[in-house]
Structure 1
Amino acid sequence: MSTVTELPESFAPVLAPRRKPLRSRAYKAFRVCALVVVVLALLAPLAWMVLASFKTNVDIYDAAKSLVFTPTFENYSNVLQRNNYFVFIFNSFWVAFASTLLSLLLGVPAAYAMSRFSMQRSALVVLMARIIPGVSLLVPWYYVFSNLRMVGGFSVLILSHMFVALPLIVYIMMSYFDSLPVELEESAQVDGLSPIGAFRLITLPLSLPGIMTAGILAFIFSWNNFMFALVLSGASTKTLPVAIFDFVSYASIDWGGLMAAATVVTIPIMVIALFTQKYVVSGLTAGATKG
């Protein structure tokens, strides 16, 4: 016959579920509230921009129609049809794509050489180029390129964007190559591959997350750049950020058209960032825990 043994009363508090301390629960609530505040602070300007793009200028100035209003597509029609913004979209995409691709072709092998052969002086030069603001070189660039009769073309925009994209790519890829074990390349060379073959067949496929990160950040910089294109572009090579500036005149500002154009500029970058965020996170954190 089985008997049920009753536990002493002294064991009851031990078996009872433990409650989280009040300080822990307060900290969790504070963290959630802080997260909500930060998210709202970041999303509020974007939400206002999208809503304003569907309003007339009169409705934008009317506080009573902040959320309830009659939407209009006149602003987008003005941006995409009358002002021929598809040409500016193509210009921005071509400059960003070309400058990013050329920077990757030059920057990835350079970063690999600096990482594997400990080229400290070259790395210092890259770091200095990364720190120097590109705006400070606009006047010398304009003087040189104007004498070469290159101002107003795509080539000068691509070269100027590469000045910022190339050090960024080298800086990111050096950290990523540092995180990859050298033993993989040495094993490949023992099996008969040359150093270049080991880099091409072993190291390069493993570094794709870092390459994606560097390429995405360089593309975003080129897409959003305003100052370089304002000074060095021409009427036929104008990019989207410069084209948006046309809605600002001396007498007034077309807020509806300005917000519609800003939305057109922002949406492609947000889509790219949304679908490639895992590569950006993995690439930026590479090498952080090495050693």
Structure 2
Amino acid sequence: MKARRTPYQVFRAVALALVVVSLLAPLVWMVAASFKTNVDIYDTGKAFVFTPVLENYSKVLDQANYFQFIGNSLWVAFAATVLSLILGVPAAYSMSRFNMRKSALVVLMARVIPGVSLLVPWYYVFSNLKLVGGFSVLVLSHMFVSLPLVVYIMMGFFDGLPLELEESALVDGLTHIGAFRRITLPLSAPGIATAGILSFIFSWNNFMFALVLSGADTKTLPVAIFDFVGYASIDWGGLMAASTVVTLPIMVIALFVQKYVVSGLTAGATKG
């Protein structure tokens, strides 16, 4: 005899369904709208039944020169992620192993401070240094998000690694740097992968810094989407196609690496 569902189980199933629908509905509508003409997008009768067209993607990939913007986004996200890992991993190790809690508090504050509050002073400083519009200023500004994220994740990961392994290495004659390089760093590979993946995703999706600090030749994909927003009208079909081009690569990456991200985040949840 089939067991009756409790009110809690029903509530949980309904809540889960609402969350899934609320998350997927905008994405489904975006992808569907990218295959519609502007006339069909405004026609509510063709919300689900319509004749697909590819001219929006042709407009994005051919006319709007989006391959250049894709390359810009890849380069900025990759450079910001690599530099953040190079600086953030040793910093997180030092804060974790040498009890540098004040420095950790500064990193936490850097994550809390709204980035928009720094845009005006950044623009003033970088414009005087003649850096506005170049890739270097974009990489540095994206590191404001990536570097604290890397330090925050890796501190939790290092806290979860057994300290006895490093103490044994020190007894065998290794220095703290040697123990870090030979023992701790290889064991922290899942955490580094997690921090790198999340850092890349945040940098890829960053819009605000690139909007203010990029130039015509260094625009990233999120900024290039604004080309479809005009003063008098909006090209909704092109806008949805461009948004799909920005979103789908990150969604594919997230689907393939989600188990590594989860394992890396939970590895430092308990102290070993």
Structure 2 unmatched runs, 5+: none
Instruction: Read off the aligned partner of 1:86 and give its amino acid letter.
Output: F
Question: 1:55 maps to what in 2?
Answer: 36
Deviation at 1:281, TM superposition (A): 1.1
Letter paired with 2:26: P
The corresponding residue for 1:76 is: 57
Matched position secondary structure for 1:276 = helix
Q: How does 1:99-178 map to 2 (within 5 A)?
A: 99-178=80-159
Q: Is it true that 1:193 corresponds to 2:187 in the alignment?
A: no
Aligned counterpart, 1:4: none
Query: Following TM superposition, by how much is the alpha carbon of 1:135 offset from its aligned partner in structure 2, in angstroms?
Result: 1.1
In structure 2, what is the equivalent of residue 3 of structure 1? none
User: Whose radius of gyration is greater, 1 or 2?
Assistant: 1
Offset from partner CA, 1:111-148 (integer Å, 9 cap, x none): 00000000112111111111111111000011001010
Once residues 87 and 270 of structure 2 are traced to their aligned partners in structure 1, the CA distance between those partners, rounded to angstroms, is 27
In structure 1, how many angstroms separate the alpha carbons of the residues matched to 2:187 and 2:257?
Answer: 17
1:188 CA drift (Å): 2.3
Q: Deviations over 1:63-107 (max 9, x none)?
A: 111111110000000000011100000000100000010000000
Which of 139, 164, 177 is residue 183 of structure 1 equivalent to? 164
Distance in 2 between residues matched to 1:41 and 1:123, nearest whole Å: 36
1:98 counterpart residue number: 79
Q: Deviation of residue 201 (structure 1)? A: 1.9
Unaligned residue ranges in structure 1 (runs of 5+): 1-16
Q: Distance in 2 between matches of 1:257 and 1:240?
A: 13
Query: CA contact under 8 A between 2:157 and 2:269: conserved in structure 1?
Result: no
> How many Å apart are 1:193 and its aligned residue?
3.0
Contact 2:210 2:220 in 1 (8 A): yes
Q: For residues 137 and 28 of structure 1, what CA distance do their matches in structure 2 show?
A: 46
Choose 71-80 or 185-194, whichever is displaced more: 185-194
Query: Which portions of structure 1, spanning 4 or more consecutive aligned residues, are displaced by more than 6 angstroms?
Result: none
What's the TM-score once normalised by structure 1's chain length? 0.90
Cα distance in structure 1, aligned partners of 2:208 and 2:15: 35
Deviation track 1:215-274 (CA, whole Å, cap 9, x = no partner) reads 111111111111111110000001101100110011000000000000000011101111
Q: Secondary structure at the match of 2:180?
A: helix
Distance 2:131 2:270 in 1: 45
SS of 2:177's equivalent in the other structure is helix
Contact 2:158–2:188, Cα closer than 8 Å, also in 1: yes
Match of 1:280 among 257, 261, 267: 261
Q: CA separation in 2, counterparts of 1:32 and 1:283?
A: 28
Secondary structure in structure 2 of the residue aligned to 1:285: helix
Of residues 117-126 and 70-79 in structure 1, the stretch that sits farther from structure 2 once superposed is 117-126
CA apart distance, 1:167: 1.0
My pick for the range that moved more, 125-134 or 65-74, is 125-134
Aligned-pair Cα RMSD in Å? 1.5
Matched-pair contact (CA < 8 Å) for 2:138–2:209: yes
CA distance in 1, matches of 2:18, 2:108: 35
How far apart are the structure 2 equivalents of 1:237 and 1:219? 17
Aligned length: 272
Distance between the aligned counterparts of 2:236 and 2:253, measured in 1?
26
Letter in 2 for 1:200: R
Name the residue aligned to 1:217: 198
Q: Which amino acid is the alignment partner of residue 217 of structure 1?
A: L
**SS at 2:270 equivalent:** coil
- TM-score scaled by structure 2? 0.96
Deviation at 1:207, TM superposition (A): 1.1
Question: Does 1:235 pair with 2:216?
Answer: yes
Q: C-alpha separation between the residues in 2 aligned to 1:33 and 1:130?
A: 34
The CA deviation string for residues 132-176 of structure 1, in whole angstroms up to 9 with x for no partner, is 111110000110010100000000000011112111111111111
Which of 5, 24, 45 does residue 26 from structure 2 map onto? 45
Amino acid at match of 2:158: F
